[in-house]
Amino acid sequence: MSQQTESTSVAGASEPLSKGEIFDVLHNERRRYVLQYLREHGGPVELGDLTSEVAAMEYDCCCDDVSSAQRKRVYTTLQQTHLPRMAEASIVEYDADNGLVSTTPQTEELTVYLEVVPSGEFPWREYYLSLGAVSLAVVVVLWVGVYPFTLIPPLVWATVMAVLLTISALYHTFLGREMTLTEFANARDEQDGE
């Protein structure tokens, strides 16, 4: 597939970015942290504040615990490499003279690429794939007529698989809704604390 046919159209962008360009920009963790912060807090944001937040995410601590050496490393790479590259791709607006970083129409569009399974979260795609594979295996075993499986009527097997799928989907839906409500509550608490 050519770069042209594989491009992602983004509202307000002068030229759409290809998927290759998007992943090239986003393959770096610091750039993803920049997008994550801008997604949560909007913009414009001063480079110094953005640096503190990105360093805190990177070193998994609060902003007050980031050392000056850590902050300087992040600041230097953001200023010299990452923000200019992101601005060149129109993913953010970066005013180097004033040290301000702002969102663009593409910023929000690209956050869909940040929706990955965080470490420690249950891998639902793999679970559903496994459930589907087990269901298919049971159907094949019943179709062939393998002995101990034929003791249970096919309708009971179908009911068990349907119940498992429904319970899994309900739990997954509830978990997703709970996470959304928790994120909303955390954002509201942060706003109240300001």
Q: Where are the domains of the chain?
A: 7-114, 124-193
pLDDT of residue 115: 58
Instruction: Map residue 174 onto helix, strand or coil.
Output: helix
Task: Give the tokens for residue 178.
Answer: 């709970």
- Alpha-helical (H) ranges within the chain are 19-26, 29-41, 47-58, 68-77, 83-88, 105-110, 124-144, 147-150, 154-193
Does CATH place domain 7-114 in 1.10.10? yes
User: How confident is the model over 141-185, as pLDDT tens digits?
Assistant: 999 999 888 899 999 999 999 999 999 888 888 877 665 545 445
Q: Which residue has the higher pLDDT, 4 or 91?
A: 91
pTM: 0.53
Residue 104's pLDDT band, with cuts at 50, 70 and 90, is confident
Nearest to 83, CA basis, from 96, 69, 70: 96
Per DSSP bridges, beta strands 92-95 and 100-103 are antiparallel
